[in-house]
Structure 1
Amino acid sequence: MAHTAALPVAHAEWLKIKSLRSSIGSLLAVFLVSVAITTLVFATVGKAEADNADAEPLFGAFYAFNFGQIAAISFGTTAVSSEYTSGALRISLAAVPRRGLFYGAKMAVVGGLALLVGLVTSFGTFLVGQAFLGEYAIGLGHSGAVRACVGGGIYLALMTLLAAGLTAVLRSGVAVLSVLIPFTLIVSFVVGDVASGVAAFLPDKAGQQVLHEDPTGTLGPWTGLAVTAAWTAAALIAGWWAVRRRDA
């Protein structure tokens, strides 16, 4: 019975996302921004950077994720916040009184779409970038490449769901974007190469370990992704509690 009930609720959530331009736009931007920046960077300075003795070809292939993850966060945020800003949440809960079912279906659809687009983005970004590198190019047969591409897609989906869960807690897309986007930019560009201590366990820094050929920090590729998954799970549980306990 629960399975039967979940399918139409999930379909309704898909229709909501599909009809909301900001959500679909953010979802498509995950792929478009990542590939566009990869093309721009690799077509101009790609070979020069690849010739650098300190270059890490596998991790460098996913440079555009620094920007693509912002679009992923935006998708997770808008997919949830739209119902709060428009007041449609009352209608949704009237149609689906079981709040756990409503919340679970929404997050399953958001996560499923993010994973699909994340995987396409991850493999597409890697392959597009390598097309410009000539003799410096690496392929999917390179050590850790397939793992990085698969893990990169999972990472983007986890960041999407992290944003979605926090939006359910704060009920404000603006608040979540104001916290998460500066946070990810600070971790990526200011904390930079710090791979130990507290910084290693922050959600984006931990998850990006899966993109390295040979992670050298505290966490390995999959354990780092597991840390990001733990952050995401905490946000989703908090969001579930908020949806169940608060008035619409």
Structure 2
Amino acid sequence: MTISSHKLYGPKGIGGLYARRGVNITPIIYGGGARQLHPGTQNVASIAGFGEAVHLAQKNRKAESVRIKKLRDKLEKGIFKTIPKVVLNGHPVKRLPNSLNISILDIEGEAMLLHLDDKGIMVGTGSACNSESLEPSYVLTALGNPYEYIHGSIRFTLGKYTKDSHVNYVLKTLPGIVSKLRRISPINLKLERKEAISQPKAFVGGQTPHFLRKRQHKNK
């Protein structure tokens, strides 16, 4: 299991590896080094910074978890209240307090990401390590989610500097973006075409289609 320092607000470019005893690790880059796992001199300053970040995170973990969970729950309830056809991805209780992964149907997550970014709101469409990829999330795929759910998924991650005002801004901004994208969504247009084919306009309001009226008149 790997742990990234920057996820704990520590220095970038440093991390930790937890390996079970007896597991043989093959180096990615061969060379010198006391432990023969990585060549070059160890980055002592970053290691010390990482250690301090872990210490501070552990010290404030309980209080921050409670605070962030309240903000996450407020965000979740607000989204489900103001936007129809939204699905929660994952367990409703057994999850991290700082993460919210949802699928907004009839829209692609990539389109939402771009529009939210334009408004200064940063979200992801997959896991953080795969945020640059357009491939469907392998986690949501493994959960058995339908294709359209997976491609409409976005991930909100709250953190140390997230405030109540930030959540309010998202709740104020997101519904308008969803409404706009649904109007122009290829998925939505495809569904509308199917409905139009299955329900011809001539039958709207109980009126008999023109070609049937002619046929009925001839039979008389």
Give the TM-score band, short-chain normalised. under 0.3
TM-score (norm 1): 0.24
TM-score (norm 2): 0.26
Instruction: Determine which structure has the larger strand proportion and give its number.
Output: 2
Q: Looking at CA atoms only, which structure, 1 or 2, has the larger radius of gyration?
A: 2
Between 1 and 2, higher relative CO (CA 8 Å, sep ≥ 6) is seen in 1
